[in-house]
Chain A
Amino acid sequence: MADTNRKIQELLSDYAGSLRDGCLPVFLQSLTRQEGKTMTCSDEFWEAAEVVRVLNGVGFADKAAIADAGLFASRVDANVASRLKKAKSSPRARRTNGTRSMTKTQKTEKPI
């Protein structure tokens, strides 16, 4: 991707390559201002990009080393548990549980 003024077909080819190899950030960083404009103005690029993504899913997703669903479910459960814990300990949650902190006026009020 050393070429600094790529044409639309070259941009698409590099986009497809980076998506296939899982290194999209490298492609994004390689774009020049001019190339960004070329992409913006080309309807064909965006149409072709849709097919490139489909090819990526159909052609390569099955070959990828995707984790076991059972193991992944426990990872999700850990994430949920952490969010649950955070929600329970956050001040907003405490307030909804009825432990509302005293307001300024309440604090300054003198007992009769």
Chain B
Amino acid sequence: MKGLTAPDDDRRRRAMEPFVRETFQIFIRYLYRYLGNEVECEDVLEDVYADIWENPDRLQEVDSERQLLRTVYLYYMRKRLREVYRRMNRHLYLSQNDLTNLTAPELGTLDTISQSELKHALGRALGRLKARERRAIELWLEGMSVRAIANELKTTVGAVKMLKFRTILKLKEMMSEYCPEE
């Protein structure tokens, strides 16, 4: 973070490289949650870093990884995420508010937690689910389609969708227990 908030443009530019190297993996994985597409993630992140270089004031008070992620998301990423789909909205049956909630939402309890903490919490929560619920989520995480999961669990597509929905709500409740707000 040294030099990143310096008033001199060139000094800030020199400070960007170590900052990018240090934070790239954290930020791109975080963005992946919202976009699910590597190419778009890189395009958005490039602009996010350039915005940080241009206006780094928000990072002055940051003193932990969690705080950094929260600040960068709220003040730099969110604006860019909104822009990704803003132009599309003329053709959508969705209010601007709902579009924002889907593509660049407010931070929930789970959104500010680091990847490793989340993995740990998810592992614990999955362990508490019923066998069938856990299997449905595991198969989903392996990349299987709903139809393939239905075949595997010997049930209908509709039943799998309902099972997934109920299980995800259960997971939300369990994971919130493991990840209290800061």
Q: A residues near B, CB below 8 A?
A: 8-10, 12-13, 15-25, 28-29, 31-33, 35-36, 39-40, 44, 46-62, 64-67, 69-70, 72-73, 75-77, 79-81, 83-84
Answer whether A69 and B24 are a contact pair too, CB < 8 Å, given A48-B172, A54-B110. Answer: yes
Question: Min CB distance, A59 to chain B, in Å?
Answer: 4
Contact across chains for A80 and B30 when beta carbons are under 8 A apart? no
B168 within 8 Å of A by Cβ? yes
Residues of B within 8 A of A61 (CB): 28-29, 32-33, 115
- Do A66 and B38 have beta carbons less than 8 Å apart? yes
Q: Of the 9-residue stretches B59-67, B97-105, B127-135, which lies at the interface with chain A? A: B97-105
Q: Verify A15–B111 contact, CB threshold 8 A.
A: no
A12 close to B105 (CB less than 8 A): no
* Pair count A-B, CB < 8 A: 184
Question: Beyond A12-B168, A40-B98, A55-B141, is A76–B20 a contact (Cβ under 8 Å)?
Answer: yes
Interface of B: prevailing SS: helix
User: Which residue numbers of B lie inside 8 Å of A, CB to CB?
Assistant: 9, 13, 16-17, 20-21, 24-25, 28-30, 32-38, 40-42, 45-47, 49-50, 53-54, 85, 88, 91-95, 98-99, 101-103, 105, 108, 110-111, 115, 118-119, 122, 137, 140-141, 143, 145-146, 158, 160-162, 164-166, 168-169, 171-172, 175
Asked if A47 contacts B141 (CB within 8 A), the reply is: no
Some 8 contacts from A to B, beta carbons below 8 A apart, are: A12-B161, A13-B146, A25-B88, A57-B33, A69-B24, A72-B24, A73-B16, A83-B54
Known pairs A46-B105, A51-B175; list 10 more (Cβ under 8 Å).
Answer: A31-B93, A48-B172, A54-B118, A56-B36, A61-B33, A66-B25, A66-B32, A72-B24, A73-B17, A76-B16
Q: Report which of B20, B40, B50, B158 forms a contact with A72, defined as CB distance below 8 A.
A: B20
* B-chain residues with CB within 8 Å of residue A50 when the two chains form the complex: 105, 108, 110-111, 172
- The closest CB in chain B to the CB of A82 belongs to B50
**Is A32 a contact of B93 with CB atoms below 8 Å?**
yes
Residues of chain B lying within 8 A (CB to CB) of residue A66: 25, 28-29, 32, 38, 41
* B146 partner residues in chain A, CB cutoff 8 A: 13, 17
**B119 lies within 8 A of A58 (CB):** yes
Please measure, in the bound complex, the distance between the C-alpha atom of A28 and the C-alpha atom of B92, giving whole angstroms: 7
